[in-house]
Structures are given as structure tokens and as C-alpha cells.
Amino acid sequence: MEDAVSLREAFAAPVEGEVDGLEDGAARCDFYGVFDGHGCSHVADACRERMHELVAEEMGAGATAAREPASWAGAMERSFARMDAEVIAGCRAESGSCCRCEAQKCDHVGSTAVVAVVEENRVVVANCGDSRAVLCRDGAPVPLSSDHKPDRPDELERIEEAGGRVIFWEGARVLGVLAMSRSIGDAYLKPYVTAVPEVTVTDRSDGDECLILASDGLWDVVSNEAACEVAQACLRRGRQRWCAEAAALLTKLALARRSSDNISVVVVDLQRRNAL
């Protein structure tokens, strides 16, 4: 199992001048992340331990502006770049033996990263790799990320312009090796594989039910529509821990459909509640 999951509620302190009840709802931020490692688990583990701290620092560095939609892309890009640099520097400092995988070259290890910062009025998603974020709104899926596959037309063009190649060997792979075109780590495949995330900022609505973050072990065998249907069924049961139940059922569904990859699922409750 090389996946890692991060759940950090209220992970970022309000920026200076913010107070409870602020109109744009920027004071409260929760962080959720799914990291699908490959080669070994240590890059995904590092993302679990550090990514939320880096995002919080980058949010704070820009003060109030970092909470504005136009500034989120820059904050997330800097956070991912710092995370990428940290894991690569850590591997080089350990001379290729930075974890228990003695037989594995450390610069051949990497991880996807799909993270979400949930504010009162917005959901910010940054994605690097083929993990995915899907918003369930009024019973229908709203994709908040796009998988970074090597044969995605714009990704293929970017790789080839950088001098790399996409080779089809049991699917499209960068240089015939990696089945995704963006990741944290994987130093030996740069610049063809980049750590630059794609970022979406989505306004929340009263019809939002939940946010699903998952590694490709789920999405390889379960559609966005089916995932939302499962989550909705759990919501209708009215149980207090319906999100945990939905995550467990989605994992079991992927296993029943013979997913051949690691499976990690996070379901975040987005229902608005009236104040008591």
C-alpha cells in the first residue's frame, strides 16, 4: 500500500484582520488530500505530513490576497513546487537510500497529489497526477480536476515539446515508464513529468452534498456518476457518519469490480447547516 491520506480540519489560522462571520467566509479552512505513491510509499508519506503546512504557509505569505480566487493558483503552485523540491532533496541527501526500499532508486519514487481546501463559500482543488476530485451537487457529479494522463492531448504536446516521448506499453507511459504525466518526485523523468498542479476554485451552492477525493484505484473501475450515487444513498440513510460509510462502500465497490491498484477514498460533507 503506497497511498497516503491527509485530513486537517481548521489547518490554517485566519489571516490578519479576519473575524468569524466574515462575508467571504475565508476564516475557516479545512484541508483534505489523497496521495497515490509509486515506486515506494515515502513520497506519498512526505506529502501527507507536509503538504498542508506548505499550503498554510503560502496562504499566509500572501495575506488576504492569498484567499482570493485569482491568487489560489499561485499559492498552490508554490506549495507543490516546494513539496517536490523537498522530496527530491531528501532523496539526494540520503544517496538513493532514504527509506526501506533499499533495492529501489530513490529518484524513481513519486506520488500523485489531489488536495482540496474547503472554505465556507468555496472549494479549492489542486491536482497533480491521475487521482481525482469530484463534487456531488444536486445528485450529479461535477469534476473539479482532470486526470493527467500522458496521452491527454495537451499533456502529450507538452511532453514532446520538452523533448520527451510517450510510449504505449500497457497503456500510455512517459518514456514507456510512468502512466501519468504529472507527479511529486520522479526526479529521473523531469522535465517531462512536472509537479505543476492544475487548480480550480469553485463557489459552493446549497445543492452541494459532498466532495469525493480518491486515487485512480477507484476511478479506474467506478465512474463519477456511480460514485455520487453511492454517496447519495449513504446520505439518504441519515446516519451521522455517512461520509465514512460512503468512503468504505466506494472502496468495497472498487474491490468488487476487481480494481488492480491501491484504493484510497475521502468523502467530505458539504451540506450547509443552519446555526442553532
Query: Which pLDDT tens digit goes with each residue over 170-197?
Result: 899 999 999 999 999 999 999 999 999 9
What does the pLDDT read at residue 19?
A: 44
Let me know: does 147 contact 160? Beta carbons within 8 Å.
Answer: no
What does the pLDDT read at residue 239?
A: 86
1-42 pLDDT tens trace: 799 999 999 998 665 554 444 444 456 799 999 999 999 999
Q: When comparing pLDDT for 238 and 145, which is higher?
A: 145
What does the angle CA 140 – CA 142 – CA 148 come to, to the nearest 5 degrees?
A: 140
From the list 182, 131, 127, 133, the residue with the least C-alpha distance to 154 is: 182
Residue 253 has pLDDT above 70, yes or no: yes
Query: What cell numbers appear for 240 in the block?
Result: 451521522
225-245 pLDDT tens trace: 999 999 999 999 988 899 999
Domain 3-145+199-269: top CATH class: alpha beta
HEC string for the chain: CCEEEEEECCCCCCCCCCCCCCCCCCCCCEEEEEEEEECCCHHHHHHHHHHHHHHHHHHHHCHHHHHCHHHHHHHHHHHHHHHHHHHHHHHHHCCCCCCCCCCCCHHHCEECEEEEEECCCEEEEEEECCCEEEEEECCEEEECCCCCCCCCHHHHHHHHHCCCCEEECCCEEECCCECCCECEECHHHCCCCECCCEEEEEECCCCEEEEEEECHHHHCCCCHHHHHHHHHHHHHCCCCCHHHHHHHHHHHHHHHCCCCCCCCEEEEECCCCCCC
209-223 pLDDT tens trace: 999 999 999 999 999
Return d(Cα 79, Cα 125) in angstroms, integer: 13
What does the pLDDT read at residue 103?
A: 43
Question: Which of 99-103, 120-124, 140-144: highest mean pLDDT?
Answer: 140-144
Residue 201 has pLDDT above 80, yes or no: yes
What does the pLDDT read at residue 60?
A: 81
pTM value is 0.90
Return d(Cα 87, Cα 18) in angstroms, integer: 33
Neighbouring CB atoms inside 10 A of 232's CB total 17
Percent of the chain beyond pLDDT 90?
76
How many residues can be counted in the chain? 276
Return d(Cα 91, Cα 123) in angstroms, integer: 33
Query: What mean pLDDT comes out for the span 127-141?
Result: 97
Q: Where are the domains of the chain?
A: 3-145+199-269
What does the pLDDT read at residue 23?
A: 43
Percent of the chain beyond pLDDT 70?
86
Return d(Cα 68, Cα 71) in angstroms, integer: 5
What does the pLDDT read at residue 16?
A: 54
From the list 94, 73, 92, the residue with the least C-alpha distance to 84 is: 92
39-50 pLDDT tens trace: 999 999 999 999
Let me know: does 27 contact 122? Beta carbons within 8 Å.
Answer: no
Query: What mean pLDDT comes out for the span 50-73?
Result: 80
Query: What mean pLDDT comes out for the span 68-85?
Result: 92
